Amino acid sequence: MAGDVEIHEELVLGQAADENAAASLASAAEQVNAHVLHSYGPRVAVAQLDPTDTPALAEALPGDMTVAAARIPKSARQRLSESEQLGLRAFELRSSDEYAEAKANRPLQGAVWDGADQASAPGCAELAAAPSQAPIDEALSHAAIPLSARLSGSVAVGLVLVEGPTAALQFDATERAKVVAETQNGATWLGGRHPVQPVTWRWDIDVIRVDVAADPNAADLEALWRDPAMAALGYGSGLGGVQAYAEDLRRQLGTDWAYVTFFTKYPTGWFAYASLGGPRLVMQYANDGWGPDNIDRVFAHETGHIFNAPDEYASSNCNCGGTWGYYGKPNANCANCASGGGVSCIMRANTWDMCPSTPYHLGFPICPGRLGVQFRGNVSASSTRRWFTHSWPADCHVVWSVVPTTVRSGAAQIRWDVQLERASTGYITYWISITNLTAMQCDIEARYAVLGST
C-alpha cells in the first residue's frame, strides 16, 4: 500500500520510451484484473491490483517492462525523463514509512471543512487571495523533520563532484579518488568521536558533468553549477532541490540524517562553507592554502556546521554565549573569550582534537549512564593513599565508591573520601583518598556510576 489509501499498488517500469507502451501495459493489466492508475510517461506507471496477482502481472508484462523492486537502481533512474522521475519519486514517497506516519497523524483529521472551532477551509475568495508559493529557499524553514539535528546513528551523504566542460573544471581519476578518500577519512574521525556508538555513514556518490562555462562574475556562483547538477540528478533548483535530494537519500538509504556535499573546481564564494543545520556543504578541491591533504579536516569542520556546531576561531568573531546545537549550549571554547584561550578543537583549528563544547553542539550523549571500575590498587596497613582521575565532563553526575577486594571478615577494612577539582570550564578532576583501617595491606577497586548529565 502506498500512502494511506487502502488499495494495493505496484510500480511498473519500462525500458524503452515506446509510444505503444501505455497500450501494452493496459492490455497486460487487463489480463490479471489490474488497473493502471497513473502513468508518468512511457516508462513509469502505477497499477492497482490484488496483492496476490502481482506475480501474474509480472508474467503478463511485455519483456521490456517489470514490476519494480523496492529500490530502483541509479542507472535505471537516470534513464527516465523529468516527469517520469517525478512520478517515481512521488510513488516512493507515498510508499515510505514516514509518509504513512504523517498521513496517520494528519492535522485536523476528521474535522468538517466548516467546523467552527477548527481551522477554516479555504473558500474560493481565500484561495484567490492566497499568497503565491513561497520561494524554494524560504520553504526550507518549513521542513517538518530536521535533516541533521544531531550526529548519531546513521548519516546519508550525497557526495556530488560537479565538473564543467573544460579540463580546468574537471577532476582526474586520482583527484576523484582523493575526494572520496578524504571525505571517508573525515567522516570516520568525526563519527568515531561518538562516545556510545560511532556513526555509520552511507554514501551516494555521483560525478556530474554540466555544460556551463565558469563565470566568476555570476550573481550566484553556486547556483551556476549546482542547479544544473541537481537537474541531472532529477531535482529542482535552489536549496529546495538540494533538500529534496537529501530527504530522498534519507528515505532510500534508511538513515537517521542526511546532507549533501558538493566538490567542484568552479569559482565559489569561498573555498569551503556550509549551511548551519544543513542541507549542504560546498568545497573547492584545491581547499585554498590548506591543500587537498586537509580536505578531511575541513570536511569534518564543515560537517560540524551541518550538525549545528559553531566556529570557534577568533576571526569568526565568535563569542562564548549563544545557544548552539542539540542541547542549546553556549560556544564556550570560542578563542575570543574561553578561559585560558580555549583548547584545540576541529571547530577552531586544523587538528583531530575535539573540545568539551563541540560534543554538546553535535548532540552526542554527553553522560550516557554506565558503571565501571576506574582503577585498582592497594593500600598499606593503617595508611592513607590518594589517587586522582581527570577529564570527567563537568556536566556528568558521577558517584564513586571504593570496595576492598582483599577478603577479611570481622571488621570494616577501608574508608574513602572524594574531593573535586574544577580543572577547566568543561572538566572535573576527582581526588580519591582511601584509608586502610586494618593492620594488613588491602587491595581495592574504585568504581564509578555515571548517572546522567545535569
Among 50, 288, 417, 421, binds another protein (CB under 8 A): 288
Residue 150 exposure: Cα atoms within 13 Å on the Cβ side: 15
8 is a contact residue toward another protein (CB under 8 A): no
Under 8 Å CB-to-CB from 359, ≥6 apart: which residues? 193, 195, 366
> What is the nearest approach in angstroms of another protein to the Cβ of residue 417?
37
Cα–Cα distance between 82 and 68 in angstroms, integer?
Answer: 18
Q: Where does this chain touch another protein (CB under 8 A) — which range of 44-52, 204-212, 395-403, 405-413?
A: 204-212
Among 248, 307, 348, 398, binds another protein (CB under 8 A): 348
Closer CB to another protein, residue 273 or residue 375?
A: 273
Among 36, 102, 276, 367, binds another protein (CB under 8 A): 276
Cα–Cα distance between 10 and 2 in angstroms, integer?
Answer: 9
Q: Where does this chain touch another protein (CB under 8 A) — which range of 30-38, 69-77, 99-107, 386-394?
A: 69-77
Closer CB to another protein, residue 37 or residue 76?
A: 76
Distances (CA, A) of 272 to 81, 238, 280: 33, 18, 11
Q: Which of 268, 285, 251 lies closest to 159 in space, CA to CA?
A: 285
10 Å Cβ neighbour count for 18? 15
Under 8 Å CB-to-CB from 322, ≥6 apart: which residues? 310, 330, 331
Cα–Cα distance between 431 and 420 in angstroms, integer?
Answer: 6
Among 1, 7, 111, 177, binds another protein (CB under 8 A): 177
270 is a contact residue toward another protein (CB under 8 A): yes
Cα–Cα distance between 205 and 59 in angstroms, integer?
Answer: 34
Do residues 451 and 393 lie in contact, with contact meaning Cβ atoms separated by under 8 Å?
no
Cα–Cα distance between 257 and 147 in angstroms, integer?
Answer: 5
Do residues 246 and 225 lie in contact, with contact meaning Cβ atoms separated by under 8 Å?
no
Do residues 2 and 91 lie in contact, with contact meaning Cβ atoms separated by under 8 Å?
yes
24 is a contact residue toward another protein (CB under 8 A): no
Closer CB to another protein, residue 44 or residue 199?
A: 199
58 is a contact residue toward another protein (CB under 8 A): no
Binding residues for another protein restricted to 349-368, rule: CB under 8 A: 349-352
Cα–Cα distance between 237 and 286 in angstroms, integer?
Answer: 26
> What is the nearest approach in angstroms of another protein to the Cβ of residue 111?
39
Among 344, 374, 389, 435, binds another protein (CB under 8 A): 344
> What is the nearest approach in angstroms of another protein to the Cβ of residue 73?
8
Give me the 218-257 binding string for another protein, x by CB under 8 A, dash otherwise.
-----------------------------------x----
Closer CB to another protein, residue 178 or residue 447?
A: 178
> What is the nearest approach in angstroms of another protein to the Cβ of residue 278?
12
Among 99, 290, 327, 427, binds another protein (CB under 8 A): 290
Under 8 Å CB-to-CB from 91, ≥6 apart: which residues? 2, 9, 11, 38, 46
Among 173, 196, 407, 412, binds another protein (CB under 8 A): 173
Q: What nine digits make up the cell of 377?
A: 590498587
CA-based Rg of the chain, rounded to a whole angstrom?
A: 29
Q: What nine digits make up the cell of 419?
A: 574531593
Give me the 415-444 binding string for another protein, x by CB under 8 A, dash otherwise.
------------------------------
Among 8, 62, 81, 203, binds another protein (CB under 8 A): 203
Q: Where does this chain touch another protein (CB under 8 A) — which range of 124-132, 188-196, 212-220, 224-232?
A: 188-196
Among 204, 227, 247, 248, binds another protein (CB under 8 A): 204
Do residues 339 and 175 lie in contact, with contact meaning Cβ atoms separated by under 8 Å?
no
Q: Where does this chain touch another protein (CB under 8 A) — which range of 24-32, 119-127, 185-193, 256-264?
A: 185-193
291 is a contact residue toward another protein (CB under 8 A): yes
Residue 324 DSSP one-character state: B
Distances (CA, A) of 96 to 72, 74, 232: 14, 18, 24
**Pairing label, strands 442-453, 370-379:** antiparallel
**Pairing label, strands 257-264, 272-274:** unpaired
86 is a contact residue toward another protein (CB under 8 A): no
Binding residues for another protein restricted to 370-399, rule: CB under 8 A: none
Under 8 Å CB-to-CB from 45, ≥6 apart: which residues? 11, 12, 14, 22, 25, 36, 38, 39
Q: Where does this chain touch another protein (CB under 8 A) — which range of 130-138, 243-251, 346-354, 370-378?
A: 346-354
> What is the nearest approach in angstroms of another protein to the Cβ of residue 164?
19
302 is a contact residue toward another protein (CB under 8 A): yes
Q: Name the site residues for another protein (rule: CB under 8 A).
A: 71, 74-75, 173-174, 176-185, 187-189, 191-192, 198, 200-207, 253, 269-276, 288-291, 293-294, 296-298, 301-302, 305, 310-311, 313-319, 335, 344, 348-352
